[in-house]
Amino acid sequence: MKCRSKKVKKHQVFADTINEKSSDPQMCEAYVSDIYEYLHNMEVHRRPIADYIEKVQKDVGINMRGVLINWLVEVTEEYKLLSHTLYLTVSYIDRFLSVNVLNRKRLQLLGVSSMLIAAKYEEISPLHMEDFCYITENTYTKQEVVKMEADVLKALNSEMGNPTVKSFLRKITIVAQEDYELSSYMQLEFLGYYLAKLSLLEYGCLKFLPSMNLALEQLSGYKPSDLKECVQILHDLQSGRKAGNLCSLILS
């Protein structure tokens, strides 16, 4: 019961702040409390195991995950896919690897199959199966991609919709707009999205719920002590102490 009350408080604080600061109908003022209660509940139930590489995987390492995601960022940019397609792709990969042992030779296959599912879910005109085979220089056949797609959907229990960092970040930046001049607000928004993408590369960020990444204390309901470790990791990523040359594509 205590845990339930804490969750309700978080989404209610967020919702009340949005209601107070915005009359924009696109902010869904009448429904925002219910929406964020739903998102906060879903992010708990549809999250990967924070230490699945240590507990589940035997052949896939942390650096391999980073290299795969960095490559998927490049694919997203090359084919002009929506950023939320990328966020969902990474979520699918982590959720799959939380319950299935995978050989490192099939990691790229998992990546393109997860992106195929995410693109079907998010994009108006998603890439075709053949496109994803081409992306891997035909390392995998169409049949292999189809089989992995089915395996991923099974691991997800066909639950493809789940909140990501971007789900919460957009609302936070809109609310914050009133407190900044236009130029400063744009800098804040771009920095927020940059840090959000960096967090995709960092395996250590899996321990944080999407609503905590980049969340502002007064909007999210989190205490400073709750945010301290997350903020420190993001600061290290931004200053280049983590992720190394994997950050190059995010910066471009």
Same domain (yes/no): 39, 8:
yes
For residues 22-30, give the mean pLDDT. Answer: 58
- Secondary element (H or E) of residue 144: helix 142-155
Average pLDDT value over all residues in the chain: 76
Domain containing 217 equals: 2-45+163-251
Same domain (yes/no): 180, 149:
no
Least confident among 10-24, 88-102, 154-168: 10-24
Picking from 117, 132, 155, the residue at the C-terminal end of a domain is: 155
pLDDT tens, residue by residue, 169-208: 766 666 655 555 655 556 766 777 777 888 888 888 788 7
CB atoms near residue 189 (< 10 Å): 18
What's the structural domain count of the chain?
2
Picking from 106, 125, 155, the residue at the C-terminal end of a domain is: 155
Q: Which of 110, 114, 119 is nearest to 140 (CA)?
A: 110
CB atoms near residue 186 (< 10 Å): 13
Same domain (yes/no): 57, 149:
yes
Asked if residue 109 lies in contact with residue 136, where contact means CB atoms within 8 angstroms, the answer is: yes
Same domain (yes/no): 86, 144:
yes
Same domain (yes/no): 40, 63:
no
Same domain (yes/no): 172, 243:
yes
Same domain (yes/no): 169, 227:
yes
Output the domain CATH number for residue 236.
Answer: 1.10.472
pLDDT band for 39, please (50, 70, 90 cuts). Answer: low
pLDDT tens, residue by residue, 215-250: 445 455 556 566 666 667 766 766 665 554 555 444
Same domain (yes/no): 27, 75:
no
Same domain (yes/no): 150, 59:
yes
What type of residue sits at position 49? I
Q: From CA 22, how far away is CA 28, in angstroms rounded?
A: 10
Cα–Cα distances in Å, from 135 out to 68, 72, 124, 128? Answer: 13, 10, 20, 11
What type of residue sits at position 116? L
Picking from 94, 123, 155, the residue at the C-terminal end of a domain is: 155
Same domain (yes/no): 30, 56:
no
Same domain (yes/no): 148, 208:
no
Output the domain CATH number for residue 93.
Answer: 1.10.472.10
pLDDT tens, residue by residue, 130-153: 899 999 999 999 999 999 999 999
Residues 6+ apart with CB under 8 A from 152: 92, 96, 110, 113, 114, 117
Q: From CA 221, how far away is CA 212, in angstroms rounded?
A: 9
25, HSE (Cβ side, Cα atoms, 13 Å): 0
**Structure tokens belonging to residue 171:** 């609302």
- Give the DSSP letter string of 162-229: ---HHHHHHHHHHHHGGGS-HHHHHHHHHHHHHHHHHHHH-GGGGGS-TTTTT--HHHH---HHHHHH
SS3 content of the chain, % helix, strand, coil (to 5): 70, 0, 30
Phi, psi of 128 (to 5 degrees): -90, 165
Farthest-apart Cα atoms in the chain, separation: 53
Same domain (yes/no): 38, 22:
yes
pLDDT tens, residue by residue, 97-113: 999 999 999 999 999 99
